Amino acid sequence: MRGFIRTGLFLFVLLIIVVYYVLPPLFSKDYIFSKNAVTASEDEEDLIPTVRHLNPPEPLKGIYMSACYAGSKELREGLAKLIDDTELNAIVIDIKDYSGKISFLPNDTWKPYLSDNCNAPDMKDFIQSLHDRNIYVIGRITVFQDPFFAKQNPKEAVKKNSDKTAIWHDRKGISYLDPGSSVTLDHIVALAKDSYDVGFDEINFDYIRFPSDGPMNDIYFPYSEGKSKPAVMEGVYKHLHDKLKPEGVVISVDLFGMVTTNTDDLNIGQTLESALPYFDFIDPMVYPSHYPSNFNGWKNPNTVPYELIHFVLASAVRRTEATSTLVSTFDGVYIASSTPKRYTKEAFDKYKIRPWLQDFDYGGNYGVAEVKAQIKATYDVGLDSFLMWDPSNKYTPAAFDKSI
């Protein structure tokens, strides 16, 4: 009897040791099993730290980096040092650009998509080095502007209406994928997941719209034809949300700047209200140079960066926080007897809005004063984060002084 009791006590103590000292490390979020694990005696070699992700900084102040810059250790170090030396704390790096090719290999299945021109084979190590400097890393994926995937999968491409077997091209000769294509969305989701697993802290979706430039009178959408463009696009937003948010991925979307002031879909399917429920951040591209002459009465909007940014972002804040809208969305309910016709809407935190601002010369010269004016206008409407765009990756350091 005593022997039985001693054996029972021994087993009980052993169970406690296993529960408290052996099992927790095995199931910790900080570790994963190595594919080459063999015996329990090699635990230290067989347990590999998981990829580390940083939380979005509050506020977030970021700049864009092209794939070509990411592939050059000298060029990318220059931008990383700019972040170190200024108020900046984040960077947006191309994963997939307008060509449809990708800048690195998340894994071997993506080899056919690797860019021959600009790529960063050490992207994972580069991201880790940015994390070591406390720099938040966003990966940018162009979605429906994709000539490479269109060529490989012509059934998913936008076609000519005059010849529904011929792929349509915009005025730059670039082809698009039909936003209604489930094959395309599966491709985008897979790339987003694999890129997040490499270490990107956030996935940003650009060119997530119907095409807008080119022979629009000769265009055909094999999957979206006859459907509401805003409804198709909201379906895309919802699909990305439903597939990526359960995986813990932080997601953001780039929208045309005029979505903050227009309530139509600009004929590309984009509305602010349809995107708000599905993304952690909405990044309207409110570049002053991209607004038409006489917008809001300004003959040349590019010459009034403070006034323009203040006007369009104040509108974005109001619409984000509002509980009703002129825009029909999946969840919106028509408010009876309202004129003009309005729908219910969830009120969202204004800090979802994180604008792309301009640090490039287009239709005018942009220097310290113009960049600072946009940042000040962003702050003055009650927002505190921004992303700065220059396709050439040449920014204005004095505009990001830490004393601001």
Digit-by-digit pLDDT tens for the chain (404 residues) are 445 444 454 444 444 443 333 344 333 333 222 222 233 334 444 444 579 999 999 999 999 999 999 999 999 999 999 999 999 999 999 999 999 999 999 999 999 999 999 999 999 999 999 999 999 999 999 999 999 999 999 999 999 999 999 999 999 999 999 999 999 999 999 999 999 999 999 999 999 999 999 999 999 999 999 999 999 999 999 999 999 999 999 999 999 999 999 999 999 999 999 999 999 999 999 999 999 999 999 999 999 999 999 999 999 999 999 999 999 999 999 998 878 999 999 999 999 999 999 999 988 889 999 999 999 999 999 999 999 999 999 999 999 987 64
Strand partners, 94: 140
CA distance 198 to 114: 15
Tally Cβ neighbours within 10 Å of residue 54: 18
90: amino acid identity, one letter: A
Q: Yes or no: say if 145 and 172 are a contact pair by the CB < 8 Å rule.
A: no
Reduced to 3 states (helix: H, G, I; strand: E, B; else coil), residue 111 is helix
Convert 377-400 to b/e letters by CB count within 10 Å (16 or more is b): bbbebebebbbbbbeebebbeebb
Six-digit token string for 321? 């926080």
Six-digit token string for 360? 């490039």
Six-digit token string for 165? 């077997």
Convert 317-327 to b/e letters by CB count within 10 Å (16 or more is b): bebbeeeebbb
CA distance 275 to 236: 10
Specify the length of the chain in residues: 404
H-type helices in 220-262, by residue range?
Answer: 229-244
| Domains contained in the chain, CATH given | 1-50 (no CATH), 55-400 (3.20.20.80)
52: amino acid identity, one letter: R
Residues 6+ away with beta carbon under 8 Å from 221: 158, 159, 178, 179, 180, 210
pTM exceeds cut of 0.85: yes
